[in-house]
Amino acid sequence: MKISLIAIGTRGDVQPALALGRALAGAGHQVRLLAGANFKSWIEGHGLEAAVSGVDIQTVMESEGGLEWIEKGNNPIIQMRIMKKLLSQVGWQMALDMAQACQGAGAVIGSFTSDPLVLSIAEKARVPHISILLQPSLAPTRSGAATINAPLPHRTSLLNYLFGQVLTESMGWRLYGNILARFRRDVLRLPAQDWAQHRDTMRRRLVLHGYSPLVVPHPADWPENFHTTGYWFLDEDDRWTPAAELVRFLEAGAPPISLGFGSMTGRDPQATTRLLVEAVQRSGRRAVLLSGWAGLGDIELPGSIFRLDAAPHNWLFPRMVAVVHHGGAGTTAAGLRAGVPSILVPHMSEQSYWGQRVEALGVGPRAIPRHRLTAPALAAAIRSATSDPTMRRRAADLGARIRAENGIALALARQGCYPATAAWMRSRSRMVSGWRRPMPHSVEMPKSGTNFCATAMRCRAPASPSV
């Protein structure tokens, strides 16, 4: 079967999708993955078809709006305003890219940033839609551990449910509402949708959460079509050889810490580098500094710090004594899997949520929001993470348990054993003729889609994992 997988975003968004896509391809499916142009050769190197988006997320993150998002993204109200502004600039192109990438697919797979649009594409094409999320769904739950920005993050409470129901569940609708209305009308030629209809669609879709239930326990009050599978790791250390200089640095002393903020950009990377250097020196540790999209480390560094453009996290992190990072879902997963303490410096989006979970699990100190980051504060966090035996023992234990999971296998089982997904999408489809899009070439969706869950009638999915 042909499957289209939408992963417009940073490497942290693309890599788990690529891992899942590889597994689907290994099961005999033809997989097309939509991502930015800078990921094309990487995707094709793993044997998948790459569909290139006209939206360059790195350029977006380096724009004035992207920099503002990174600087103020820990404030939910300001974050919504910035995200709406950015989507007004790139959202329509994203929608058209998604429509093009889903041509001829027998099933479509979206995520948080694409679900509102991909659901409508699946409705038009009459094919199943599956949502793969790297963070908890915005569906309401009493669980504070599974609610982003929960008022009571450490409790199971009706207040958390009401918070989700009133404020967070509609976030995607509020972000994409205008784009979605235009997309349904002008491209898909589908009837307009109100919030209640959209919410019903979102609640009934098949959702696979690509994180460990050991990190976020699966809520008992989520719909039965929501599942937590474990992480989707893509191990590439066999494709990468460390430089001799890096090997010598690692062998020259005690295990260092890793420092890096991944796809987070910044206005003054040299100032950020100086802050990190001072923190490392205050802590008395050595460090590997990952330059990332911000270009950190572009100054003269002391001998105790080794600058590295990039390295597979599954190779690098287990060789560290602790990891300092921005709190992206993928980097957080890699740090937890490595079994060493994590120090999070959230910049934006759900990164603060992952900082809360790391602290709640006792595998890292309290997160330091980027706008509050100072050399003394980071040095204190490094000392805590590298010297607290209880924290280090908890991190090692959690890492071992995560490494024993097989999130990809469970995700594949879930995708093949949920017949209601295809049946419900077919029942929701509107028989509207034609496909009109404001592009110079005409495109038509298939009149019928392959039943992605045809074999599901003969199998029964296991219960969601629990802690």
Q: How does pLDDT run across 25-37, given as a tens digit for each residue?
A: 999 999 999 999 9
pLDDT digits (tens, 9 = 90+) for 44-73: 999 999 999 999 888 888 888 888 888 886
3-state percent breakdown (helix, strand, coil) of the chain, nearest 5: 50, 10, 40
Residue 431 has pLDDT above 60, yes or no: no
Contact 341, 391 (CB under 8 A): yes
Say which DSSP state 254 is in: S
Query: By CB neighbour count within 10 A (0-12 exposed, 13-18 middle, 19+ buried), where does 297 fall?
Result: buried
| Residue 361 C-alpha from the chain's centroid | 20
Token pair for 456: 């599901």
Tell me what pLDDT residue 113 has. 87
C-alpha–C-alpha distance, residues 283 and 125, integer Å = 57
Q: Report residue 177's pLDDT band, with 50, 70 and 90 as the boundaries.
A: confident
Average pLDDT, stretch 247-270? 93
Q: Tell me: pLDDT of 453 over 80.
A: no
285 pLDDT above the threshold of 60: yes
Residue 334: predicted pLDDT: 96
Separation of alpha carbons 218 and 411, rounded Å: 15
Expressed in angstroms, the distance from the first to the final Cα of the chain is 34
* 3 state SS of 402: helix
Confidence of residue 77 (pLDDT cuts 50, 70, 90): confident
Q: What is the largest CA-CA distance in the chain?
A: 68
> In this model, does residue 467 exceed pLDDT 80?
no
**pLDDT confidence bin for 416, thresholds 50/70/90:** low
Element (DSSP H or E) covering residue 51:
strand 49-53
Please answer whether residues 423 and 466 qualify as being in contact, where contact means their C-beta atoms are separated by less than 8 angstroms. Answer: no
Q: Tell me the backbone φ, ψ of residue 313, rounded to 5 degrees.
A: -60, -35
Question: What is the DSSP pairing of strand 257-259 with strand 226-228?
Answer: unpaired
pLDDT at 423: 45
Consecutive H or E run containing 162: helix 158-163
What share of the chain has pLDDT > 70, as a percent? 88
Tokens found for residue 435: 């496909």
What pTM value is reported for the model? 0.88
pLDDT for residue 134: 96
Q: Which of 303 and 449 is assigned the larger pLDDT?
A: 303
- Mean pLDDT over all residues of the chain? 87
Distance separating alpha carbons of residues 5 and 132, to the nearest angstrom:
10
Name 270's Cβ contacts closer than 8 Å, sequence gap at least 6.
Answer: 298, 299
Tokens at 253, concatenated: 């002393």
Report the C-alpha gap between 95 and 337 in whole angstroms: 34
The answer to whether residue 24 scores a pLDDT higher than 90 is yes
Query: How confident is the model over 362-406, as pLDDT tens digits?
Result: 999 999 999 999 999 999 999 999 999 999 999 999 999 999 999
Whether the predicted pLDDT of 461 surpasses 70 = no
Report, as an integer, the average pLDDT of 262-288. 93
With beta carbons less than 8 A apart as the criterion, state whether 391 and 385 touch: yes
E strand or H helix at 5: strand 2-6
pLDDT computed for residue 351 by the predictor: 94
* Lowest model confidence (mean pLDDT) among 92-106, 191-205, 304-318, 451-465: 451-465
Domains, the chain, with CATH or none? 2-231+405-458 (3.40.50.2000), 242-403 (3.40.50.2000)
Residue 458 has pLDDT above 90, yes or no: no
Whole-angstrom distance, CA of residue 141 vs CA of residue 143: 5
pLDDT over 70 at 131, yes or no: yes
